[in-house]
Amino acid sequence: MCLEGPKLPVSRFCTFAQVVHKGAKLCFLSISTDAYSLDFQTCFALQATDQPTSLPAIIVPLLEHYSEVFAERTSLPLPRPGFDHKIQSKDEIQPFNLHPYRFYLVHKNIIDNIVLGNVGSMYCAA
């Protein structure tokens, strides 16, 4: 893929690994096919600042009206029968000693290469 035109001062090409290495606080990946995204993947990295920010005036009434939705959780959500389930274990069975999601080094390197190949050429906005 070749992009032509003037470069924006805040945008540059970089890999996802570079963004993470630089300590981005929040990253999100957008994969879209609408006319505004120009049919390519974008990775946005947002940096935290210590400067206070103000919310737009149109947002404040919504946040106040739906304050219970945006409140910080203090407990676990209530159980939902039919959706939540408990994993039953058999008596006198010892759990096996295997770490989840572990791969042999060869498999890990193959997966890393695939991921870096897919994510490595994304368009990043810093």
Structure tokens at 20: 């993470």
pLDDT of residue 114: 82
**What whole-number distance in Å separates Cα of residue 8 and Cα of residue 120?**
20
Task: Give the DSSP H or E segment for 107.
Answer: helix 105-119
| Model confidence pLDDT, tens digit, residues 18-74 | 766 666 555 555 555 555 555 555 666 666 666 777 888 888 899 899 998 888 888
Place of tokens 């939902």: 80
- What residue spans define the domains of the chain? 7-48+119-126
pLDDT of residue 43: 61
Do 17 and 122 meet the contact criterion of CB atoms below 8 Å apart?
no
pTM: 0.27
